[in-house]
Amino acid sequence: MNLFIDINTLTSISTVFYIILMPLLFVFWKHNKDIEAIKWWCIYPIFRILNSIISSDSQLYDEEAWIYASNLAVIISDSFLMIGCLKFSKRKVNYYYIAAFIGLFIITCIVQYNVDTLLAERAKSVVLFDMVTIAISIYALLHLEDKKYALEKYFTLFWISFQLWTFAFWFYIDFDLLNSAYALWLNFSLAGVYISHIFIIGGLIILTTAMRKNQLIEENENHQKLEANLTIALRDAQIANEEKIDFLTNMSHELRTPLNAILGFSESLKFDYYGTLNDKQLEYVNNIFAGGELLFKLITDLLNLSNIEDGKVDITLEEISLSLLINKTKPLLDEIVSHSPVTFDIINDLEEQKYNKAVYVDQIRIKQILMNFVSNAVKYGKKDGTVTMEIKEYDNRYFNISVRDDGIGIKKDQFENIFKPFNRAGNEKTKIEGIGVGLSIAKDLIEQMNGEIGFSSEQGSGSVFWINIPKSKQREFPLLEENQSDNEIKSDNEIKHDH
Ligand code: ADP
């Protein structure tokens, strides 16, 4: 039985395999560019293919120069394999040494070509150079962690070292490649070298997939660690927030008690319950009362905010006609504006029938929001400017109420801060009083009512703050009974209050 393997056929088969496997490596490289080794391993089969083409073409192989070229292709291809292995095991690569190494091989070839060296001697030098690259590749891969790459590492190492043992065998028989005593072994070893290259490329592919898998596992672990840390941080933040809320609530309560005394007693003095005050005394008592009231408002804001953050604010949604809601809110807004020389207009763009339709809101909270808008419009508006509240339909779901002023406006870079608690959007250092919680409370409240809030503003020209309040879905028809008595504000009617 003839056991000899037809080397020419094998060369062609292995070339086909190189051609099939090489694009696979390219695809891997395209998708995993962070694994630098693949780039070098992609080039490795190219030179192998070159070597196979030259050695399978008998005409070319008869010419000395082509044999040298094919040997050079072998050394270059294995150098790329070596660089890839070094990169893969995260070792430093000195490209100068590698260039010098290939240069040395080229010089050896030139010398051999000129002195007409025997084939066996030339083969020895190619194999010797090749053994260096292979030994370094083995050394690099041996350092890979077994835990991460066990199977892939030993599979690739087996086929790379197979070449080393084959070369050692060839040295053992002193490159007497026609030695009939070893003819079969020589044939096997040559076939083995070709086959080994196919398996090495396969090994490189599974090594890179293993590295990708390990990277994903690591990323996942890091992600989980990060998530655990975030959960801890979130819990700590929640505890801190609860403590802050408790503190604010307690402090607001504690402050309100003595403040009530200040307000009560100064009011008694103001109204001359205990004797008439002279002008100076009255002025000072008025100052005490005004200061006390401001403090009271700030503390109430704080308490409101802490209650909202604590989830203690109950929103009671009810149906009420829009006109009634506005009529009930109007006196409160008038009261705010009455202390300043500002002109307050209400513009109603709605037809009577629409104006009388029901909205589904917590009316106390809507009043609170509109009071905040109007008091801000006065605070940040022009001293003797105009504040305009406008009521219109937004869409099928909402009515829109906006409050416009012609005041200082808001800088664009502060837009994102407007609804953040305790943020005064650049007005911290001004004389305008406030603690920056009114709008954040307004936002929380309107969102709990399934409404919307927003604003537009231009620095120096003024601002418009608006809310969209949900229409009642249940009742499509006007709530006539509620409106009849309160129908002070007529459609398209502008009511002006000059102060
Ligand atoms: P406060 O008025 O107590 O500071 P708010 O929460 O009501 O708190 O408002 C937050 C910030 O938004 C204000 O400090 C101010 O800078 C800005 N702002 C609110 N309303 C207006 C407005 N009508 N015009 C200009 N800036 C405004």
pLDDT digits (tens, 9 = 90+) for 350-378: 998 899 999 999 998 999 999 999 999 99
At 435 the pLDDT is: 83
Cβ(374) – ligand 1 distance below 6 Å: no
- The CA 461 to ligand 1 mean position distance, Å, reads 15
Question: Ligand 1 pocket, 421 CB below 6 A?
Answer: no
Q: Is the CB of 407 under 6 A from ligand 1?
A: yes
Nearest CA to ligand 1 atom 14: 424
| Confidence label for 492 from pLDDT (cuts 50, 70 and 90) | very low
Q: Ligand 1 centroid to 198 CA: how many Å? A: 73
CA-nearest residue, atom 3 of ligand 1: 434
Ligand 1 centroid to 470 CA: how many Å? 24
Ligand 1 mean position, distance from CA 412 (Å): 14
Q: Is 377 in the pocket of ligand 1 (CB under 6 A)?
A: yes
Cα separations in angstroms, 188 against 6, 157, 183: 10, 20, 9
Residue carrying the six token digits 């005050």:
277
Most ligand 1 atoms within 8 A of CB, residue of 418, 430, 453, 458 to mutate: 418
Q: At residue 471, does pLDDT exceed 70?
A: yes
Is the pLDDT assigned to residue 481 strictly greater than 70? no
DSSP state of 460: T
Nearest residue (CA) to ligand 1, atom 10: 436
pLDDT band per the 50, 70, 90 thresholds, residue 480: very low
C-beta atoms surrounding 326 within 10 Å: 22
| Residue 176 near residue 242, CB atoms below 8 Å | no
Instruction: In whole angstroms, give the CA distance from residue 227 to residue 123.
Output: 59
Look at residues 435, 412, 415, 411 and name the one whose alpha carbon lies nearest to residue 423.
435
For residue 436 and ligand 1, the question of a CB distance below 6 A is answered with yes
Q: Is 479 in the pocket of ligand 1 (CB under 6 A)?
A: no
Domain 230-309: give its CATH code.
Answer: 1.10.287
The whole-angstrom separation of Cα 464 and Cα 377 is: 9
Give the separation between CA 90 and CA 311, rounded to whole angstroms: 54
Position in ligand 1 atom list of the atom nearest CA 424 = 14
Structure tokens at 468: 């969209």
CATH ID of 318-498, from 3.30.70.270, 3.30.565.10, 3.40.50.1970, 3.30.413.10: 3.30.565.10
Residue with the bigger pLDDT between 484 and 95: it is 95
Q: What is the pairing mode between strands 358-361 and 462-470?
A: unpaired
Q: Is 463 in the pocket of ligand 1 (CB under 6 A)?
A: yes
CA of 310 to the centre of ligand 1 (A): 23
Report the pLDDT value the prediction gives residue 4, as an integer from 0 to 100: 79
Q: Where are the domains of the chain?
A: 3-221, 230-309, 318-498
- Ligand 1 lined by 323 (C-beta under 6 Å): no
The phi-psi region of residue 311 (left if phi > 0; otherwise alpha if psi is between -120 and 50; otherwise beta) is: left
Is pLDDT of 185 > 50?
Answer: yes
- Give the pLDDT score at 86: 96
Write the pLDDT tens digit of every residue in 328-351: 999 889 989 998 999 999 999 899
